[in-house]
Amino acid sequence: MIARDTGLPGIKVIEPSCYEDERGFFMESYNRERWLRNGIPHLFVQDNHSLSVMPGTLRGMHYQLEPHAQAKLVRVVAGSIFDVVVDIRRGSPTFGRWEGFELSAGNKKQLLVPQGFAHGFITLAANTEVLYKVDAYYSQPHDRGIAWNDPDIGIVWPLAPSVLSAKDAKHPLLRNAEMNFT
Ligand SMILES: Cc1cn([C@H]2C[C@H](O)[C@@H](COP(=O)(O)OP(=O)(O)O[C@H]3O[C@H](C)C(=O)[C@H](O)[C@H]3O)O2)c(=O)[nH]c1=O
């Protein structure tokens, strides 16, 4: 298992050890002790699973307000995504900065998204399934989002979204968003 830091402090890319043989492969997709040793001490309390049928499905950019902010450990088990994080901690030197990563069933990469980041993705293949662990329970009253196409953030998506929920089509710009992260 390899865990690498990225250009955004706190964001990590994890590559689990994968054991291939003539049958296929086996990997430990999560091991608390090993992930803890690699800087991921989070106590995850909920597993999420989404299927996006169409390529170009964009889900994001989401976060939950304190005290229900979530760290996320994201991976793809079918298809492929361009996964994006935005630092939304007003006190952060990288406030408003974004970074994107390709996660796929093929590369088996995982992304750790700490609390204080907005998270979203666009699918690069049909029937893409995303699994992710979160360290705080879903709280609809604390669920928030920022616009996927906020010009002040300037996310460069690899393709235009073909599918977007009504909710994701009307999130505010970062400068108008409600946030309470320090
Ligand atoms: C997130 C969530 C949603 N729901 C219910 C609420 C809605 O009735 C339905 C769909 O929710 P939503 O449209 O918010 O799902 P996504 O657009 O995939 O949202 C996710 O997309 C991006 C990529 C994220 O990082 C977030 O974890 C999450 O917000 O599932 C639940 O019951 N529990 C949950 O934890």
Answer yes or no: is 104 within a domain: yes
What would the two tokens of residue 170 be?
């009307």
ipTM for the whole complex:
0.98
Atom 21 of ligand 1, nearest CA residue = 59
Of all helices (H) and strands (E), which one includes residue 63? strand 57-64
For the Cβ of 119 lying below 6 angstroms from any atom of ligand 1, the answer is: yes
Answer yes or no: is 181 within a domain: no
- Spatial CA neighbour of 44 closest among 75, 17, 22: 75
Q: Tell me the per-residue pLDDT of 145-176, one tens digit each, with 9 for 90 and over.
A: 999 999 999 999 999 999 999 999 999 999 99
Answer yes or no: is 35 within a domain: yes
Q: What's 16's domain CATH number?
A: 2.60.120.10
114 touches 143 (CB < 8 A): no
pTM over 0.95: yes
Three-state secondary structure string covering 11-58: CEEEECCEEEECCEEEECCCCHHHHHHCCCCCCCCEEEEEEECCCCEE
> Structurally, how many domains does the chain consist of?
1
For the Cβ of 127 lying below 6 angstroms from any atom of ligand 1, the answer is: no
- Cβ neighbours of residue 31 closer than 8 Å, sequence gap 6 or more: 1
Answer yes or no: is 21 within a domain: yes
- Spatial CA neighbour of 148 closest among 85, 73, 103: 85
Pocket perturbation via mutation, ligand 1, pick of 62, 132, 171 by most ligand atoms within 8 A of CB:
62
Answer yes or no: is 49 within a domain: yes
Answer yes or no: is 14 within a domain: yes
What would the two tokens of residue 7 be?
């250009």
Q: Which of 42, 63, 119, 132 is catalytic?
A: 132
Only one residue has tokens 């710009």, namely 173
CB atoms within 10 A of CB 126: 13
Answer yes or no: is 119 within a domain: yes
Residues of the domain holding 108:
2-176
Q: Tell me the per-residue pLDDT of 25-68, one tens digit each, with 9 for 90 and over.
A: 999 999 999 999 999 999 999 999 999 999 999 999 999 999 99
Atom 23 of ligand 1, nearest CA residue = 120
What would the two tokens of residue 167 be?
């909710």
For the Cβ of 10 lying below 6 angstroms from any atom of ligand 1, the answer is: no
Answer yes or no: is 142 within a domain: yes
